[in-house]
Amino acid sequence: MHPVEKSTNSTLFKRAQQTIPGGVNSPVRAFKSVGGAPYFVTEASGPFVFDVEGNRYIDYVQSYGAGICGHAHPKIVEAVFQATKRGTSYGAPTLNEVLLAEEICARVQGVEMVRLTNSGTEAVMSAVRLARGVTGRSTIVKFAGCYHGHSDSLLVSGGSGIAQQGLAGSEGVPDGAVADTIVVPYNTIPELDERVAVVCVEPVAANMGLVAPLPGFLEGLRAACNKVGALLLFDEVITGFRLCKGGAAQWYKVQPDIWCFGKVVGGGLPVGAFGASKDIMTQLAPLGGVYQAGTLSGNPLATAAGLATLNMLDQYAYQQLEHTALSLQQGLEQAFSAAGITAMVPRVGPLLGIFFTNSTPTDFNEVREAADNGMYPRFFHGMLSRGVALAPGPYEILFPSLAHTTSEIAATVTAASIAALEITRQS
């Protein structure tokens, strides 16, 4: 055992690099896109995280969307604590996984059965296998800039998953793994044929900044899938239970065939889920011939956290989230305008993005152009030095939570005003 010693962020990062590739367990955390050493979190509470040097940050990462109620919410902590006292993993069915599945089905119209996994990556990977099994087809259609986890067939042109590293794909993925994957531009309705098993899409693209679907895009995908008998998959790992009670399908009034969830549904613990109609889901083992499994799937701690979180997400909570996001959007827009900086702050409900461009991007090529202009790293560090933590990369978004109050929003806008003016003076 190494002794616990007082560290700085930079010394701890150097130490981590000796035993962890790149010093991090998920690449974006290495700050490659923005430069510098990452801050190492020691604890978090509500809208704040605290690092090893004792700095406090207003946090808009919120575990990339999992922390919709803020960090260490007392009800979630208590639910996990009580679950922990009963054991941490059984490898057997539990009541809470049934309750969580029932809650998801009750909230999302069209979801009749759910299978729990350990991550969003697992959920999408398994859902694609299910779609192929149901249709008897092999081709996948995905959209450039949409990230569906790091499974081989979906990693190509995967938005924030790889773009932060300056990559278009990943070494180690053989040509055969992506031979049946077709990548098309977001907000463009592709021509499909009878080879297509499934069209995978983020209904709101939130892994290339925030790119909303243009009017008619999701409806067009639904119609195109219907025409050739392909299945439509909504990757709602980010939008699920965050936009509104029924997620993006309810928000846009377009119903897919398969849904994938994560983030919010686990309350900050590792959970993923995919769901569909009974006709589709009963094709999974042990009922059907499509195999999927997981030793820790339906983990009792994660399901307890997920249930506690969903129980707090009522109509008032969603109104509060959207109001907070609107206030933040307006404040940031005013800060950029006052500093003479051209920037767009798109918003979809409680989700926010920042693009340093004169128009809001609609596809990955436009996003990449905005990301490459070098403005985001300067703004990121300007905010971080003033106690506001944004995601360390221009392809990510902001996640205001129920814990962010008017006080934190005002402090954030003040920091943004100063950071923006500093950029203007240095230009």
- How far apart, in whole angstroms, are the C-alpha atoms of residue 344 and residue 355? 5
State both tokens at 78.
Answer: 């208590």
Say if residues 118 and 271 touch (Cβ distance below 8 Å): yes
Q: Which of 344, 325, 161 is nearest to 242 (CA)?
A: 325
Q: How far apart are CA 81 and CA 88, in angstroms?
A: 10
Q: Is 235 considered catalytic here? A: yes
Please identify which of the residues 39, 147, 186, 376 carries the catalytic annotation.
147
d(CA 49, CA 272): 24
Place of tokens 């996990």: 80
Q: What is the spatial distance between Cα 53 and Cα 175, in angstroms, rounded to a whole number?
A: 45
Task: Give the strand order in the sheet containing 258-261.
Answer: 113-117, 272-276, 258-261, 231-236, 196-201, 139-143, 181-184
51, 59, 235, 363: the catalytic one is 235
Is 263 noted as a catalytic residue in this protein?
A: yes
Assess whether 180 carries a catalytic annotation: no
57 DSSP β-pair partners? 49
The owner of tokens 């569906």 is 148
**DSSP string covering 309-361, please?**
HHHH--HHHHHHHHHHHHHHHHHHHHHHHHHT---B--EETTEE--B-SSS--
Q: Are 403 and 70 in contact (CB under 8 A)?
A: yes
Closest CA to 116 of 248, 306, 253: 306
Q: Which residue is catalytic, options 57, 142, 263, 363?
A: 263
User: Are the CB atoms for 143 and 184 separated by under 8 Å?
Assistant: yes
Which residues belong to the active site?
A: 147, 235, 263
